[in-house]
Amino acid sequence: MSGNSAFNPFEMARAQFDKSADLIGLDEGTRDFLRTPMREYQFSIPVRMDDGSTKVFAGFRVQHNDSRGPCKGGIRFHPQETIDTVRALSMWMTWKCAVADIPLGGGKGGVVCDPHNLSAREQESICRGWIRQLARDIGPTIDVPAPDVMTNAQHMLWMLDEYEAIQGGHYPGVITGKPVGMGGSLGRTQATGYGVIYTLREALKELEIRPSDTTASVQGFGNVSQYAIELYKQLGGTVVCVSSWDQEEMTTYAFKKKDGVDLDELRGITDNFGGIDKAKAKDLGYEVLPGDDWLIQDVDILIPSALENQITGENVESISKGVKIVAEGANGPTTPEADAVFHQRGVFCIPDFLANAGGVTCSYFEQVQSNMNYFWDMEEVLGKLDMKMTSAYMAVSGLAKKQDLYMRDAAYVVAINRVATACKNRGWV
């Protein structure tokens, strides 16, 4: 094993890109252009620490591509962040925005730090320092950051405040992830879960299956799952099994009810992070099974919305032959080996970055509302979300059908082609 062959996330992102570029037959110039970020900023943020000393933190911002609109992407506070990770993540953001067909490009940034070693005041100084270095290079029309690993709404508000202080005006559209009332959008909690079901609904339509004739099994009982179940039931579907994490026993359990789980009933016995109370569930008539059993239920639809790498080469064979659709609510729940089995079996897979694009779409809505300083009600947000998700789905599945592509490949092709076209139309390549 030589050092050169070591895992590099950026190389991996490029490899994924190359595969799709080959499918499209992308020309060399465009390929070279898209394989590398357009701009990268690296800078130092000096911070006066609580004990009076000064420490210097390394900051980054990578703007991968803004041919379709201002860059969009999170800010990570992470120890030993490497530029290659940030590059890879910014590239994925470009494809994600493109597949959802929102007029934004891809970016990512961060600061090398571990907030566990920092007081709130020190973190605030880092946030403000980050903005001071980049105030000219981001903005509502240039690049719009958002929360990511170890950053949250509080950090966004500090950054917003610093930006507005420098620019001398109000620019709520410079950053997303803000709380409602401070430039945030309604519908954020629902967006991802509902988004999954909007795409699922379209898939069912295409497969000419009535939702009310279907059953589903869901992994996880967090935000995404709960709202996915909510909407799926409104469509008439029946969820027969959900799995959830048991903090006390350090393992997962699956909760099964043949006639369908009752969402409100389960929510009543669930802690804030989706842990369902096992004993109470039993009392309510649920069958409590080992966590992995969510996968082997005889259902039509699987909705993995918990963690990465849940459906693997090892367990993919235990999936019921009756499963017709897998809607990936989580990021990367299916390993390549399992994916190959789906492909071969003809299981219809709605790939993660399409299925869970509801989140980024809602961020885009936050930006739009912030820029016009007028905020929609929930109905309007969700209505627009439905429209966006539906058309995004249609574009991908349309291509998949037309070119007989696997859905995951089709999604990449659609995304990359949109970006490449924008670059060409602008006369860049």
**Residues classed as catalytic:** 108
Q: Per-residue string for binding with other proteins, 77-106, x by CB under 8 A?
A: -xxxxx--x---------------------
The residues pairing with 112 across neighbouring beta strands, listed in sequence order, are 78
List the structure tokens of 155.
Answer: 């950090």
- Dihedral pair phi/psi, residue 316, rounded to 5°: -65, -30
Amino acid of residue 76:
R
Residue 44's nearest CA partner among 129, 166, 155 is 129
In this structure, the dihedral spanned by the alpha carbons of residues 264, 375, 196 and 419, taken in order and rounded to 10 degrees, is: -170
**Under 8 Å between Cβ of 76 and 10:** no
3-state secondary structure of 152: coil
In this structure, the dihedral spanned by the alpha carbons of residues 235, 240, 245 and 247, taken in order and rounded to 10 degrees, is: 110
Q: Does 179 bind other proteins (CB under 8 A)?
A: yes
With respect to other proteins, which residue has the nearer C-beta, 11 or 206?
11
Q: Which residue has the tokens 């389960």?
A: 266
Q: Does 116 bind other proteins (CB under 8 A)?
A: yes
User: How far is the C-alpha of 74 from the C-alpha of 8, rounded, in Å?
Assistant: 20
Q: How far is the CB of 154 from other proteins (least distance, A)?
A: 6
With respect to other proteins, which residue has the nearer C-beta, 117 or 344?
117
**Under 8 Å between Cβ of 191 and 359:** yes
With respect to other proteins, which residue has the nearer C-beta, 118 or 204?
118
Q: Does 372 bind other proteins (CB under 8 A)?
A: no
Residue from 121, 170, 258, 345 that binds other proteins (CB under 8 A)?
121
Q: How far is the CB of 418 from other proteins (least distance, A)?
A: 26
With respect to other proteins, which residue has the nearer C-beta, 81 or 409?
81
Q: How far is the CB of 124 from other proteins (least distance, A)?
A: 11
**Under 8 Å between Cβ of 40 and 13:** no
With respect to other proteins, which residue has the nearer C-beta, 93 or 395?
93
Long-range contacts of 332-338 (CB under 8 A, 24+ apart): 332/308, 333/219, 333/304, 333/305, 333/306, 333/307, 333/308, 333/309, 334/304, 334/310, 335/309, 335/311, 337/312, 337/313, 338/311, 338/312, 338/313
Residue from 238, 335, 361, 370 that binds other proteins (CB under 8 A)?
335
Residue from 21, 65, 105, 122 that binds other proteins (CB under 8 A)?
122
Q: Which stretch binds other proteins (CB under 8 A): 4-12, 32-40, 202-210, 371-379?
A: 4-12
Q: How far is the CB of 332 from other proteins (least distance, A)?
A: 9
Q: Which stretch binds other proteins (CB under 8 A): 21-29, 174-182, 199-207, 390-398?
A: 174-182
Q: Per-residue string for binding with other proteins, 289-328, x by CB under 8 A?
A: -------------------xx----x--------------
Q: How far apart are the first and last CA of the chain?
A: 38
Q: Which stretch binds other proteins (CB under 8 A): 61-69, 136-144, 178-186, 378-386?
A: 178-186
Q: Which stretch binds other proteins (CB under 8 A): 151-159, 204-212, 318-326, 351-359?
A: 151-159
List the structure tokens of 92.
Answer: 């994925």
Residue from 22, 114, 317, 379 that binds other proteins (CB under 8 A)?
114
User: How far is the C-alpha of 419 from the C-alpha of 429, rounded, in Å?
Assistant: 11
Q: Per-residue string for binding with other proteins, 235-274, x by CB under 8 A?
A: ------------xx-xx-------------------xxx-
List the structure tokens of 210.
Answer: 């009535």
How many residues contact other proteins, by CB under 8 A?
A: 48
**How deeply is 136 buried, as exposed, middle or buried, from its count of CB atoms within 10 A (0-12, 13-18, 19+)?**
exposed
Considering only residues 38 to 57 of the shown chain, the ones binding other proteins according to CB under 8 A are: 50
Q: How far is CA 334 from the centre of its chain?
A: 15
User: How far is the C-alpha of 319 from the C-alpha of 316, rounded, in Å?
Assistant: 6
List the structure tokens of 312.
Answer: 């693997």
Q: Does 76 bind other proteins (CB under 8 A)?
A: yes
3-state secondary structure of 42: strand
- Applying CB under 8 A, the residues found at the interface with other proteins are 1-3, 5-7, 9, 12, 50, 76, 78-82, 85, 114-122, 147, 149-150, 152-154, 177, 179-180, 184, 188, 247-248, 250-251, 271-273, 308-309, 314, 335-336
